[in-house]
Amino acid sequence: MKIDLEAERKEILNRYKILIKACKRRLEKGDKEIIRKAFEVAVEAHKEMRRKSGEPYIYHPIAVAQICAEEIGLGATGIVCALLHDTVEDTDLTLEDVKGLFGEKVAQIINGLTKISGVIDNTSSIQAENFRKVLLTMSEDIRVILIKLADRLHNMRTLEHMKREKQMKIASETLFLYAPLAHRLGLNNIKTELEDLGLKYTNSDGYYDIAVKLQETEPQRKRFVQKFIEPLKEILGEQGFTFKIFGRPKSIYSIYNKTKTKGVAFEEIYDLFAIRIVIDTPLEQEKSDCWKVYSIITDFYHPSPERLRDWISTPKSNGYESLHTTVMGPEGKWVEVQIRTVRMDELAEKGYAAHWKYKDSAADKESNLENWLQRIREMLENPDPNALEFMDDFKLNLFSDELFAFTPKGDMKTLPVGATALDFAFEIHTKVGEQCIGAKVNFKLVPLSYEIKSGDQIEILTSNKQTPKEDWLGFVITAKAKSKIKSSLKEQRKKVAEEGREIMERKFYKNKLDFTLQNVNDFCAFLKIPSSQELFYRAALGNVDVKEIKEFVRFKNNPVKPGRKTATPKIEQLVTNARGSSDMLVIGDDMQKLDYKLSPCCNPIPGDDVFGFITVGEGIKIHRVNCPNAIKLLSNYAYRVVKAKWLNDQMISFLAGIKIIGTDELGLVNNITKIISNENNINMRSIKFDTDDGLFEGTIMIYVHDTKHLNHLMEVLKKVKGVTRVDRIDEKD
């Protein structure tokens, strides 16, 4: 197929014009020229490159810049960096060139966006290391993460051109990290789109199932919304409000999550949509007007008192402001109603993009963001050498709901739900946390592990003799507290290790061994201890035996007969062995002499979409693609994932679980077991039934050949009189 280069050139210029139009209202003198220069540099640098779809590569940086301008609201520097974000990584352009052409700031941001190259060692995850680098630069300049989000959003929008395993890796990473980040930065539209696209590629059946049902039920939802808002429109108009009132459907991802976490079917979810009322009112009247609207609604519809959420008096830490209530609407259905002003609505939907309009009133939001960045800077001051642990800690602070607690003087602190008295102590000050011996909550003494409730007033009790203990790590959930405790424990270990060093030195000389760095390192390797500091620490605790030193001396004198087993092969070697020439693991193929196990966390069976995960000690573990652990594995260790498919010609039985819910009819258990054993010739491994006041719930573990076999059985069981639901379950009981 011949490529029309002239038509492409015109299209590139056309896209550039649309980009300039999108950021026009924020461009200052000289900005247009610098964006044009960045555009020309990017076009030249990427001129030979094409995307997987066959399009010119330059379409991608322009699209990322477009998202930055339109959906995130960045200025000229952000647009320039978006246009150049892939140049240092993928072309001959160097960081020095960028610095010379566009200055220090642009080079710093581009550096933050450029991946770390180099080999993966035994323990690190390249994804986690790259993400840590992004965060390091982000704590200096927030634009790094905003451009990264725009880049990720465009990649997700064009993911259909990628290979399946690449889709899995990118989509899992998106759900694991990028969607929570967009949420944290108040970019609601981007968060929702990332989540929906992430689900589309990690569990397409789940995604399309809900998408189709949403489409089918749309007409009746529209009728219901009309009926609900009719009387409200009239009275709000009479009261002189300028307003918009409409129904907003919930995102596919949030509906999917609800079906999973609450264990309910699509048909049983009452809040498939929310009614939103957006009023146009001056800043000083916002709060009172929102409550006036609330009062009008509750005159018509009965509210549920537990479901009132006031994020106007205390906005969420990502700046979200709104008043939420759930009321009993027509046809006996509960409906969520969101009340907010035009300003709040724009800030909630667009986050940063709305800042330009509301520079002054957004000052609070800025300070919230600044507080969050300050926490990340603190975490990065003494980051855990293990990037994956650091990532887990960081993720803790992203997606959690929040609560408010007060100091004895009445200062309010925001903490994630689940935070403890010890978290609160570290939130006040590191020193207070380290010396904490207990707390008084609402004047009553509580232990360090006490879980805070919103509105608690907390006084922290300290003692200068107290130091952090190992078990404290189990008492805290905030990243700040975790990292401070870890670094304090590390310091304590260091001190103990210094005493251990002297002990080791004496033991070496007693056994006629020179206390040299080489000998110490060799002894560590001999005992399979990761570092000399760990060795000294163990020595101080009395855990290094003279017998081990003698064995080591013998081994040094006669290294042919090692005193220890051969080392475990490195993960790189395992990956290479597993991938082989075909890059595909075939499950059930006798030709493959590879040790694989079906993972118990998700019980995969033939017909399931699966992947292999290479472990160091247990061969290859096979997981279902929608396994609860899959997103984390694919996100952090994509290089240890191997494609896997089932070989169909073997009728082996695999363990699967089903859950049956219904009303307690006479003979129901008998009917169910009869169907399982007679009609489908299936063996049961375990069966457990509970009945409670006329309700019936059963869990059955059975052996089936594949998903087709299992689905057929589930369909038959659904027809049994009294059965209301049949679901496949993931975990073994």
The pLDDT tens digits of the residues spanning 351-383 come to 655 655 555 444 454 556 666 666 666 666 555
Report the distance separating Cα 571 and Cα 712, nearest Å.
Answer: 40
Residues 242/280, Cβ–Cβ less than 8 Å: yes
What one-letter code names the amino acid at 567? A
The answer, yes or no, to whether residue 576 has pLDDT greater than 80, is: no
Name the percent of the chain lying above pLDDT 70. Answer: 81
What tokens were used for 672? 């169910």
The answer, yes or no, to whether residue 393 has pLDDT greater than 50, is: yes
Instruction: Compute the average pLDDT of residues 528-554.
Output: 81
**For the segment 121-149, what is each residue's pLDDT rounded down to a tens digit?**
444 566 666 666 666 666 667 788 888 89
Least confident of 9-13, 60-64, 70-74: 70-74
**For the segment 655-714, what is each residue's pLDDT rounded down to a tens digit?**
788 898 888 777 788 888 888 877 656 777 788 888 877 888 889 888 777 788 788 888
**For the segment 37-51, what is each residue's pLDDT rounded down to a tens digit?**
999 999 988 888 888
Task: Say which residue the tokens 């006798």 belong to.
Answer: 590
Q: Given this chain, do its domains 5-187 and 211-350 carry the same CATH topology?
A: no
- Please tell me the predicted confidence (pLDDT) of residue 582: 44
What tokens were used for 301? 């519809």
- Domain segments of the chain as ranges: 5-187, 211-350, 487-557, 571-646, 654-729
Name the percent of the chain lying above pLDDT 90. Answer: 16
Domain 654-729: give its CATH architecture.
Answer: 2-Layer Sandwich (3.30)
The answer, yes or no, to whether residue 337 has pLDDT greater than 90, is: yes
Q: Distances in Å between the alpha carbon of 232 and those of 241, 331, 445?
A: 11, 17, 49
- Please tell me the predicted confidence (pLDDT) of residue 505: 85
The answer, yes or no, to whether residue 181 has pLDDT greater than 90, is: no
**For the segment 275-313, what is each residue's pLDDT rounded down to a tens digit?**
999 999 998 999 999 999 999 999 989 998 888 889 898
What tokens were used for 10? 């015109």
Average predicted confidence (pLDDT) for the chain = 80
Report the distance separating Cα 183 and Cα 255, nearest Å.
Answer: 17
Report the distance separating Cα 593 and Cα 586, nearest Å.
Answer: 11
- Please tell me the predicted confidence (pLDDT) of residue 564: 46
The domain defined by 211-350 carries CATH number 3.40.50.1000: no
Report the distance separating Cα 185 and Cα 302, nearest Å.
Answer: 34
The pLDDT-based confidence of 626 (bands split at 50, 70, 90) is confident
Of 358 and 412, more confident: 412
Least confident of 183-192, 204-213, 272-281: 183-192
What tokens were used for 635? 């996100």
Percentages helix, strand, coil for the chain, rounded to the nearest 5? 55, 15, 30
Instruction: Compute the average pLDDT of residues 183-206.
Output: 89
Half-sphere exposure of 395 toward its Cβ, with a 13 Å CA cutoff? 18
Neighbour count for residue 356 (Cβ, 10 Å): 13
The answer, yes or no, to whether residue 204 has pLDDT greater than 60, is: yes
Q: Distances in Å between the alpha carbon of 430 and those of 9, 419, 444, 482, 715?
A: 58, 16, 23, 11, 58
The answer, yes or no, to whether residue 566 has pLDDT greater than 60, is: no
Instruction: Compute the average pLDDT of residues 341-357.
Output: 74
What tokens were used for 689? 């039934």
What one-letter code names the amino acid at 275? I
Beta strands per DSSP E along 101-249? 243-249
Of 304 and 25, more confident: 304
Nearest alpha-carbon partner for 586 in 640, 649, 644:
644
Nearest alpha-carbon partner for 81 in 447, 95, 270:
95
Least confident of 206-215, 349-358, 709-718: 349-358
Half-sphere exposure of 326 toward its Cβ, with a 13 Å CA cutoff? 13
- Please tell me the predicted confidence (pLDDT) of residue 574: 54
- Please tell me the predicted confidence (pLDDT) of residue 287: 93
Exposure string over 499-533, b if 16+ CB within 10 A, otherwise e: ebbebbeebbeeeebeeeeeebeebbebbebeebb
Instruction: Compute the average pLDDT of residues 503-527.
Output: 84
Task: Say which residue the tokens 């995604």 belong to.
Answer: 207
**For the segment 481-506, what is each residue's pLDDT rounded down to a tens digit?**
888 888 888 888 888 888 888 888 88
Q: Please tell me the pTM assigned to this model.
A: 0.70
Query: What CATH number labels 5-187?
Result: 1.10.3210.10
Q: Would you name the residues annotated as active-site residues?
A: 89-90
